[in-house]
Amino acid sequence: DLYHIPVVFLTAFSNQSLIERAKITQPFGYLLKPVQSKELSVSIEMALYKSKMEKELFKANTRLENQVQERTSKLKEEIRERKITAEQLEQKSQHLEKLNHALKSMLDNREIEKKAIEQNVLVNIRKHVLPHIDELEKLVSDKEVERYFTIIRSNLQDLVTPASSTLFSKYM
């Protein structure tokens, strides 16, 4: 088996113990004397053919084993790379979730600030502007100036009305 040489036994002995010992060597044939030359020739030809086929089978098996090892190695590397990619995606996902939460909080705060500003503007116009317009209207008798006061009051009411209706609907 060390030199991969096909062996055919040619012997005059056929006792069972000798045959069992011969089996251990894994011969390609076992011929009993007397043997005819055609029988010997066929046995040798079959042994050589079987030896050749075993060598080819061994080479094919070795080649397949190497291919399996290469593919397994590549698959392990691909799995490792995919795990790294999955971990990176998970980290990015968590980061985006934090950013999303922060942006939502900022938008909520902006809405609160916007409503506070609207309410402040509404209160300031009613408290600081409209009373002075009322006082000025009482002091002026000119029809042309009264018309300007009416326009100013109307425009201020137009500014105040959307904000007040929003606030009014929220609190009612």
- The reported pLDDT for the residue numbered 166 is 56
Amino acid at 169: S
**Nearest CA to 31 among 6, 7, 13, 10?**
10
Model confidence over 104-159: pLDDT tens digits?
999 999 989 988 888 888 888 888 888 888 888 788 778 888 888 888 888 887 77
Mean pLDDT of all residues in the chain?
88
